[in-house]
Structure 1
Amino acid sequence: MFTESLVAVSAEPAVELFTARTPGPADRTLLVIHGGPDWDHTYLREPLSALAGRHRVVLPDLRGCGRSTRGLADGHYTPDAVVGDLVALLDALDCPRADVLGFSYGGLLAQRLALAVPGRVRKLVVASSSVPPVPPDAFAGWREREERLAAEADVWSDPALSGPDLTRAAAVASAATDVWRPEALPGYLRRLAKVRFSAEWMRPWRAGVLPSARPEDAARRLRDLGVPTLLLHGRQDMTFPAALAEEAATVMPDAHAVVIEEAGHMAHVDQPDRWLDALSGFLS
């Protein structure tokens, strides 16, 4: 189903992106930007593989992530550097325009990509992410969220954990936060076991030198671009409030929010059929 290769996207510093691709027409390319950022793309392969043939689905590991180039200086891990990599990747794939899906942190990067090179983005999908900033009190009073987050907080405060071991442990500990339906949790944990976690982006983040990925005044700027946008979200998302997707759709005439019930941050795991139906309908 997927072909895999390393694609050179930068000479200075030298960066290659490990990229998985499905068969499909080049003029129907869907570029998928994973979150984390110290994850890889593999947790998004399903249900996106079902688009193969109708779309060429392209899933790169970002610089410093998965099987892409690691070991760069902290200053080379920035959102703008990622945008440059992704534009170079589209060039290498001979793809002048693509649909772009950004998931979670990748949703912020996808917005930056659309704003940086609007002519290259045909349609934009912001999945389990947000266009407006998350208010400090966005989850106030949601006791179940507080209870589910406790395990992850313990991991981040554990001095015995560091590097990729810390990233993995935090992802596993937050699984019950990210997946809403208990019956979906075992399959999600099996999916996490295959992710090649890194900790490259954690260094500049902890040092306080990682620039924010969120574009300034994104709702207005994306509205002015007029790029068709799908805001795809789970109702019980405990990372980015679903209400922000609905709010953004009210101020962006070219945006449409689909909020899936009984689904958390990993809405594509909780409700894969509904998630894929919404995505397919938008891309058609």
Structure 2
Amino acid sequence: MRLHVREFDGPADRTLLVIHGGPDWDHSYLVEPLNRLAGEHRLLFPDLRGCGRSSVAEPLTPDAMVADLVELIGASQVDVLGFSYGGLIAQRLAIQAPGLVRRLIVASSSVLPVPADAFDGWEEYERRSAAHPSIWDTSPLRGAELTRAEAFATAPLDVWREESLPDYLKRLEQVTFTGNYLRAWREGRFPSARHPDAVERLSGVPLFLLHGRQDMTFPASLVPLTPCTDAVVLEEAGHMAHIDQPAAWLDAVRRFLAAAT
């Protein structure tokens, strides 16, 4: 198993491991603005197993992803930022290898399950969903091309500010998409990454929730219901809150990492 990892130099005792979402995406869309922390922190951006430029090896499961990350981290504690689906993997990492995770940032993700009616009655969500529907079940594309086409088709749901959309589309152009998890996911064979006892099991980990108020994937309404050390909900920011509000998003990350444990 070979993980592709992009690294930015900084103090080894201040390492931040960044876990991307998807799966079937890579890490590249998260590099900016986090790369501005280089020098203050050592930054590690791995592509998860079967994603981006990392190799494909069975089993393709959340637990296998976590095992790879444990191997990557080694013996020293690190801070962890998990974004979207990566937030679920980050939680599993903190639960399954508690001695390795010093502080945990769950960004544009959730600890609690998302209710089926989470977005009911939100007119803008309904408008954007109708104008930019998912193409999972209608496109003739397969594999990585379908993953890529879906990302572009639903991009207006992921960023809130219209002026943020061109930057986001440029980032999507740079992503190395795969389709290694797609078939199992669509057939219902891909195990959930959500840990059933996450709230209880994460009680001993400093936990920071970082969210966009207008997130159309993981609702911001779950943030105040979640026990955590700290939380920031950014206004005028969607699922890709780091693109809608990069300065405020990075300031929130920096502040949490600077806090004493």
User: Which TM-score tier does this pair reach, normalised by the shorter chain?
Assistant: over 0.9
Q: Counterpart of 2:238?
A: 264
Q: Counterpart of 2:216?
A: 238
Pair 1:150-2:124 in alignment: no
Question: Cα distance, 1:109 vs. partner?
Answer: 0.4
Residues 141 and 122 of structure 1: CA distance in aligned 2, closer, same or farther (over 3 Å): same
Q: Counterpart of 1:8?
A: none
Question: Cα distance, 1:206 vs. partner?
Answer: 1.6
Cα deviations by residue, 1:182-211 (Å, 9 ceiling, x for unpaired): 001001100100000001011211221111
Q: Counterpart of 2:251?
A: 277
State the AA in 1 paired with 2:95: L
Q: Is the 8 A contact 1:102 1:126 kept in 2?
A: yes
Written as runs of structure 1 = structure 2, the 5 A alignment for 1:1-284 is 15-70=1-56, 72-73=57-58, 76-91=59-74, 96-150=76-130, 152-223=132-203, 226-248=204-226, 251-252=227-228, 255-284=229-258
Identity %: 61
Q: Is the 8 A contact 1:20 1:60 kept in 2?
A: yes
Question: Cα distance, 1:154 vs. partner?
Answer: 4.7
Partners of 2:77 and 2:181 in 1: how far apart? Answer: 28
Question: Cα distance, 1:153 vs. partner?
Answer: 3.3
More displaced stretch, 151-160 vs 58-67: 151-160
Question: Cα distance, 1:174 vs. partner?
Answer: 1.1
Partners of 1:88 and 1:27 in 2: how far apart? Answer: 17
Partners of 1:122 and 1:203 in 2: how far apart? Answer: 35
Cα deviations by residue, 1:138-165 (Å, 9 ceiling, x for unpaired): 1111121122123553522224111111
User: How does the TM-score come out when normalised to structure 2?
Assistant: 0.96
Partners of 1:192 and 1:151 in 2: how far apart? Answer: 20
Residues 113 and 154 of structure 1: CA distance in aligned 2, closer, same or farther (over 3 Å): closer
Cα deviations by residue, 1:79-135 (Å, 9 ceiling, x for unpaired): 1000000000112xxx51000000000000000000001110010000000000001
- Which runs of 5 or more residues in structure 1 are unaligned? 1-14
Partners of 2:131 and 2:169 in 1: how far apart? Answer: 15
Partners of 2:139 and 2:85 in 1: how far apart? Answer: 25
SS at structure 1 position matched to 2:202: helix
SS at structure 2 position matched to 1:155: coil
Partners of 1:227 and 1:84 in 2: how far apart? Answer: 19
Partners of 1:104 and 1:154 in 2: how far apart? Answer: 18
SS at structure 2 position matched to 1:21: strand
Cα deviations by residue, 1:60-83 (Å, 9 ceiling, x for unpaired): 00011110002x34xx11110000
Aligned-residue RMSD, C-alpha: 1.2
Partners of 1:202 and 1:150 in 2: how far apart? Answer: 23
Partners of 1:176 and 1:21 in 2: how far apart? Answer: 30
Residues 151 and 79 of structure 1: CA distance in aligned 2, closer, same or farther (over 3 Å): farther
Partners of 2:250 and 2:134 in 1: how far apart? Answer: 34
SS at structure 2 position matched to 1:257: strand
